[in-house]
Each structure stands twice: as C-alpha cells, then as structure tokens.
Amino acid sequence: MLILASASSTRKALLHKAGLHFAVHPATLDERTLEQDALNAGGDARDIALLLARFKAETVSASHPGDLVIGADQTLALGLELLHKPATPDDAAAQLDHLRGKTHRLHAAVTLVRDGQLLWSDLQTAELTMRDFSMEERTSIMKLEGKALLNSVGSYRLEGPSIRLFETITGDYFTILGLPLLPLLAALRDIAPDLLNFQD
C-alpha cells in the first residue's frame, strides 16, 4: 500500500489527480522543535524541509510495516529568515507586507520510506518575487482568499487570487504547491511500479 504521511489537502489532491491509490495517515511531529534543533546544528531551510519530510515518513512507517510511505514538507525562506503558516488574518496581513517587493524561496522536499528505511528523497526550490503591491490590493486579495490563507506558508495561494501579488516566479508549479510530483512519480516507477496503477 502507498501512504501519504501528510494532512495537506493540496498534496492529497495532486496525488489523486495523478491517478494514484493511496491512504492518508498524517504524521504527528513537534515540527518547530525539530526545526530549531536543525538550525542549532547549522542546518538551513533546505535541510529542514528534507528533515521534516523524512521524519514524517519514518514516523508513519513505524506503524505500517511493509507499506511505502510518502513524506513531504515545505519551507519558505526570505534570506536566512524562515516563515511559517500564519495563525490569524492579522498575521497573514503582516506576512504579506513583509514579503512585498522581495524575493523569497520555497523549498519542497519529498521522501519515500519503507519499514523505517529511507529509500529515496528529493528537494526542489522555486524562487518567487512579489510586486510592490498597495495596501488596498493586499486587503482585496485577502478578502477574496478568506481563511484559506491560514493554511498556506507565506499567506498566499498561487492557485487562487493571490497570484495577482506576484511579479515573477521561477520553478516548478508542483514544487510551489509543496510536492515535487514529477520526481516522485519517477521514483515510484523505479521503486514500486505496481503502485502506479490508475484509479478506476
């Protein structure tokens, strides 16, 4: 069986659209503590994305012997600063204002684990530059997006009205959504081609 160790509705939708059969078993981790430990050890945003993706997959794998588990995580870096999902609309507004007119990077990691063993991992990076948008534009976009922004690191959704806030984007669309899908599908073809059977 193929298992997704993530509660992300976006990752779930991407795998469904790719025609995969899988179960969803989100991992429970203290992500901020793991992140801080990695930073203390000299890690950066890329390292943290890979670490969390692997830990998620290993955690779920421990209770699902024999199954192939997908772990995924994404970090947002503005220079050396790490940003996280906003807790409130005010936090989202402040985060958007902080990103305005600047370039940030999204690092998306994905891993495959079976019986606690890391079989494969990959990390992709996208670079995004926001426009120097006005306060009125930001307020309007936030109204259009609603509470969906609270589920997104960076407080925006490129698949929604937030796309209006951007000037340039470099990188794979699936990476921006938090799951490097093409490398994952290539790995599945090599490791477990039987799991790529299409849904009915």
Evaluate whether 78 touches 104 at the Cβ level (below 8 Å).
Answer: yes
Tokens encoding 72: 């995924």
Helix (H) or strand (E) holding 188: helix 181-191
* Residues forming the active site: 73
Q: How many whole angstroms separate alpha carbon 82 and alpha carbon 153?
A: 10
- Count Cβ atoms below 10 Å from residue 163 Cβ, excluding itself: 12
CA distances from residue 150 to 124, 145, 153, 174, 187 in whole angstroms, order as listed = 23, 10, 8, 20, 31
Q: How many whole angstroms separate alpha carbon 110 and alpha carbon 112?
A: 7
Q: What's the CA dihedral at 127, 131, 137, 138 to 10 degrees?
A: 40
Q: How many whole angstroms separate alpha carbon 68 and alpha carbon 188?
A: 10
Q: How many residues does the chain have?
A: 200
